Structure 1
């Protein structure tokens, strides 16, 4: 019985260590599903725009324009059968990015703030790189 306890105690750590390289690799891989990629970017840009409304009004206008471009592309490529999936992906990405942005401002740990800021900028750059100009 103690062998099982040891196994289950170490399982989360093992999974976390195994998942880290996979996540790092996923960030560098080209998008395999452009529809999901644009839906995710629309969600991230929505979260960024709302965050900027509170803290940086002028930047929100640029973000709003970029978000509009992504939404135009997304609308053009979304088949009627996947509208619900696209909305779900957008909401998931918006919530995740919003959580990340909250950590950039409200975390008590400066290291966490810096990492969250770096990650949010990286994710937004990957989205805006998809746009022309």
Structure 2
């Protein structure tokens, strides 16, 4: 993944990660990529659950994991895993509210939030 790291550094995206910033805070690329990997994991599993094609989401998940691996330091493994799991659980909850909710208004809000979260991640992936 050295070529990926060099590419990200050239773009200014691979600033040194402190491992202490919350996901989404400026300057912590590792947290951002790990959060997106978690969101894509939830999306992938949810699509399997409801019988929809997950091919594209699976591809995006893999790309995000590659980005995480390219920018994280060896000592960040546990924190990266925590960010991924936290984001996966949050996204899964939104998806469940969106698809299995008896309150249409709440289901709509959850669907909108899930789409927004994923679209922010999708903006990081080209192609």
The answer to whether TM tops 0.5 is yes
Q: Deviations over 1:14-34 (max 9, x none)?
A: xxxxxxxxxxxxxxx873311
SS at match of 2:68: helix
Following the alignment from structure 2 to structure 1, what is the Cα–Cα distance between the partners of residues 75 and 90? Answer: 25
- Give the unaligned 5+ runs of structure 1: 1-28
**Equivalent residue for 1:124?**
118
Runs of at least 5 residues in structure 2 that lack an aligned partner in the other structure: 1-23
What is the aligned counterpart of 1:34 among 29, 32, 52? Answer: 29
Q: Larger Rg: 1 or 2?
A: 1
Alignment match of 2:64 (pick from 62, 66, 70): 70
Matches within 5 A, 1:1-133: 31-58=26-53, 60-133=54-127
TM-score normalized by the length of structure 2: 0.78
Counterpart CA distance in 2 for 1:31 and 1:126 is 14
Q: How far 1:126 sits from its partner (Å)?
A: 0.2
| TM-score between the two structures when normalised by the length of structure 1 | 0.74
